[in-house]
Amino acid sequence: MTDRRRTAEETLVRLGLDPAAIAAGTVGADALAPLLAGADAEPLVDAIATLARTAEAAALLAALEARAPTRALRKALRRALYVVGQRGVPLPEPAAPPPAPIRLAEPDVEGYVSQVDGRGDRLAWLVRPQPAGGVLLVAGQLNEPEGLRDVQLADVTRKQLKAARRQLERNAGLRLVPADWRVVDALLVEGHERAQHAHDRPDDHAHHHHDYLRLRPRLLTTAPQAAAEPVSRHVAPPAGEEAAALVADSAALLGLPELATWWPAPEALAPWIEAIGAVRESPLVVSRAAREERVAEVVRNAIRALVPAAVFARRLEGTAYVLAETGRGPAARRALATAAALRAAPDRVPDVPFAVAFVERALGRVLAAASAERREAERSALVVTPGQFLRDRSRAHPGRTRG
C-alpha cells in the first residue's frame, strides 16, 4: 500500500467513513455534503480521488461538486475528477445545461408608495411612460385595513408628476418613494378586493372610484403577485436581543414626522374617557390605590381596542419601508421590530411601549383639556356652586373645624 493511499484511508477513518465504500462509490453525496463546509473538505476530496476506482465513485465526486459551497472547492473537485479519469475510470456525462427561462417582456412601469398616516391611509402610484410623451398615472389611496378608498387614472407630464409629489410632501407630509411596481400593483389589487367586499353592489357605477381592476389593463397585462409590504434592501429585519431592545424603545417612533398624525380618532377615545371618568367619580371606589388600579385596567382595555395588532403591524411595516428608503435605518428597524412583536403576541399588545404611548398620550391630552376647561368654567362662573364655596372656605380657614 502506498503512503498516499494509506493517508487517504486514515483521513476517511478519522472522519468516520468506510474507505472501501468510498472507493466503490456506494456512499451518497448527501451524507458527505455537511463535511464540505468544514476544514476537512479538501482532505476528503483528496482521499476520494486517491481511492476512487469505479464509475460510481467518479459520480460521487461530480455530485459533490454541485454541492460545493466555495469556488475553490469546486475547482478542487474538478481536478479530482480529471485525475480519476486519467486513471481510466469512466466519468459521468456532464449534465445538460438547463433550458434558458422564457422571459416575458416586463412593462416599463414605475411604482411609488408613501408612509401610512394616522387614519391608516397611504398613497400608491403606478406610472407608465407614454410613446407620444408624458406618462400614464394610476394614483390610488389605500387604507389599512379597509382597502382602496380611491383610484384615478390621468395623463400627466413628468413635470406635473414631480410637482404633485413635492406638493404632497409640503402640504400633507406624505413622502412618495420608489418601490417595485409589482409590489405596488399587488397592494392595489388587494385594496380593490377589500373595498369591493365592503359594498353590497360592487358593480354599481358609484363605486368605480374603487375599481382598480377596470383601470389596470391600461398599464399591465401580467398576473398580479401575492400582496405583501415592500421590503427595503437597505435594512435587515432585527432579531433576538436587538429586536427586544428596539421594542422596549418603540414609543420613540411616535416622535417621528412620519407618525405625527398617528392619534386615535376622538370618537374612538370617547368611551374610554367616559369609563375613566366613571371610575374617578364612583363612590364605590374609595381608596386611591383601588382607583388607580381600575383606571389602569380601563387603559389596558383601551389599548386592546384601539391598537389591533395585525392592522398596526402592517401600518408600521409600510412606514418602515419609507423610513429605510429615506435614510432612517435605525427608525425603520425599530418600526419593523415593533411590527414583529405585535404580530407575534397580539394578546400582549398592552405590554408593547409603542401601543401604550399611542393610547396613553391621547387619553392624557383629552383628560388634561377637559380638566382645564372645567377649571376655567369654575373660575368664570357667576354663581358659586356649593362645592366650590366649601373648597374656597376650607382654603381660607384651614384650621377651622366644626363642633
Please enumerate in sequence order all residues whose Cβ is within 8 A of that of 392, keeping only pairs 6 or more positions apart, or say none. 384
- Looking at the fold, whether 134 and 186 belong to one and the same domain comes out as yes
Torsion angle in degrees (nearest 10) through CA of 270, 283, 350, 372: 50
Q: Which of 314, 315, 316, 308 is nearest to 349 (CA)?
A: 308
Please report whether residue 101 resides in a domain.
Answer: no
What pLDDT shows up at residue 371?
66
Please report whether residue 74 resides in a domain.
Answer: yes
DSSP state of 350: G
Specify the amino acid at residue 310: A
Domain coverage including residue 119: 110-218
Residue 46, number of CB atoms within 10 A of its CB: 18
- Looking at the fold, whether 74 and 159 belong to one and the same domain comes out as no
Whether the CB-CB separation of 36 and 65 falls below 8 Å is answered with no
Question: How many structural domains are present in the chain?
Answer: 3
Please report whether residue 285 resides in a domain.
Answer: yes
- Looking at the fold, whether 82 and 124 belong to one and the same domain comes out as no
What is the end-to-end Cα distance of the chain in Å, rounded? 119
If the chain, 403 residues long, is cut into consecutive pieces of 10 residues, what is the mean pLDDT of each piece?
A: 82 84 80 78 85 83 82 84 81 64 63 96 95 91 95 94 93 93 96 82 52 91 93 92 96 96 94 89 76 90 96 97 95 97 95 96 87 61 50 52 42
What pLDDT shows up at residue 9?
85
- Looking at the fold, whether 171 and 244 belong to one and the same domain comes out as no
Whether the CB-CB separation of 174 and 123 falls below 8 Å is answered with yes
Q: Is 155 helix (H, G, I), strand (E, B) or coil?
A: strand
List C-alpha distances in Å: 92 to 7, 54, 83, 133, 379.
26, 11, 14, 57, 98
Please report whether residue 181 resides in a domain.
Answer: yes
Torsion angle in degrees (nearest 10) through CA of 25, 29, 31, 33: 130
Q: Is 111 helix (H, G, I), strand (E, B) or coil?
A: strand
Please report whether residue 342 resides in a domain.
Answer: yes
- Looking at the fold, whether 276 and 327 belong to one and the same domain comes out as yes
What pLDDT shows up at residue 402?
43
- Looking at the fold, whether 136 and 192 belong to one and the same domain comes out as yes
- Looking at the fold, whether 276 and 196 belong to one and the same domain comes out as no
- Looking at the fold, whether 254 and 145 belong to one and the same domain comes out as no
- Looking at the fold, whether 322 and 194 belong to one and the same domain comes out as no
| Domain end residue (candidates: 86, 101, 122) | 86
Please report whether residue 349 resides in a domain.
Answer: yes
- Looking at the fold, whether 210 and 317 belong to one and the same domain comes out as no
Please report whether residue 100 resides in a domain.
Answer: no
Residue 81, number of CB atoms within 10 A of its CB: 22
The CA-CA-CA angle for residues 127, 131, 137, to 5°, reads 20
Whether the CB-CB separation of 47 and 18 falls below 8 Å is answered with no
- Looking at the fold, whether 125 and 72 belong to one and the same domain comes out as no
Q: Which of 250, 231, 233, 265 is nearest to 117 (CA)?
A: 265
Strands 135-143 and 121-129, bridge-based pairing: antiparallel
pTM as predicted? 0.66
- Looking at the fold, whether 42 and 158 belong to one and the same domain comes out as no
Q: Write out the H or E segment, with its range, that includes residue 378.
A: helix 353-380
Q: Is 123 helix (H, G, I), strand (E, B) or coil?
A: strand
Please report whether residue 232 resides in a domain.
Answer: no
